[in-house]
Copies of this chain bind each other. A is one copy, B any other.
Amino acid sequence: MAGILEAKPRVGYSYCRDQQLARYRRTLDGIKVKDVCSVPVVIDESDSVYDGIVMIFLENVGSLIVLSEGKLVGMVSRKDIIKASMAAVDVKTMPIGMIMTRMPNLHLAYPTDNIYNAAKRLIDCGIDSLPVVEKRQRDGQVVYEVIGRLTKTTITKLFVEVLEMSDVEA
């Protein structure tokens, strides 16, 4: 019944004119991070800051996920890049690993996280992007394999799509 009575035998029909509300609620209830996250944009920690800048422009993203031997080791934001540029370092030779925010100081999202929790984490932590990871064991160590990214753009897109679905504009 999804919380809304649609018909009452022997009493008559008592319907909800806007059944989209129920659909709206059901949709949001069911959305997981894995359903909406984007493809991760990754760089190796040995690549240069310059390579990172080029990638930020080519991929049109706000931050890069930094890997070492395929596992998550850090994140680099546009702010980190600006700081590095200001510090008069040679961006062509400095490895991006030198300016990244390093594990374990990263906030993460998991594929099965509720979208509400992930969005709240973005706001509470004051960040623009979360790497979406799966925890694995490799050689007896816990490693995080990156399978996506979840950003404020993801949430804004979802906000628009859900409003379109529930036809708020109509």
CB nearest to A77 among chain B residues: B78
Contacts of A39 in B (CB 8 A): none
Per the CB 8 Å criterion, the residue count for chain A at the interface is 54
CB nearest to A163 among chain B residues: B116
A residues near B (Cβ < 8 Å) are 1-5, 8, 11-12, 14-18, 21-22, 24-25, 28-29, 53, 56-57, 60, 62, 78-79, 81-82, 85-86, 91, 114, 116-117, 119-120, 122-123, 126, 128, 151-153, 155-160, 163-164, 166, 168-169
Asked if B81 and A160 make an inter-chain contact with CB atoms under 8 angstroms apart, the answer reads no
CB nearest to A169 among chain B residues: B116
Asked if B3 and A18 make an inter-chain contact with CB atoms under 8 angstroms apart, the answer reads yes
